[in-house]
Amino acid sequence: MTKLLMCIPAVALLLAGCSSEGRRAEKRLEIIRSGEHTSAQLCQEAKRVAEAYLEDGNEEEYRRWSRSDTADCAAARIEALGY
C-alpha cells in the first residue's frame, strides 16, 4: 500500500507535464510564424491547431482557432490570386 501511495505523486507529475495536442500544435504554429512562411503554410498549420483542440475536446479553443484558420486561409487565397 505504501508503495502505491509513493507512486501517486510521480504519476501526477507526469500528467502535469503533458500538454494537450492542441497546445503542442499551437506551439508549432508559433515557431512557424516566427520564421519564413507562406500564407498557405499558416492556413494549414492553423487548421491543424483547430483540429487538435477538437480532438482534445476543447470546444472553446476549437472555435477560437477555427476563426483564426479562416483568416489565415483567406489570406492564402488572396495571395494565390496574386494580390
Query: 81 is written with which cell numbers?
Result: 490570386
Specify the amino acid at residue 55.
E
Residue-wise pLDDT tens digits, 25-51? 999 999 999 998 899 999 999 999 999
Percent of the chain's residues with pLDDT above 70? 78
Report pTM.
0.71
| Cα 21 to the center of its chain, rounded Å | 6
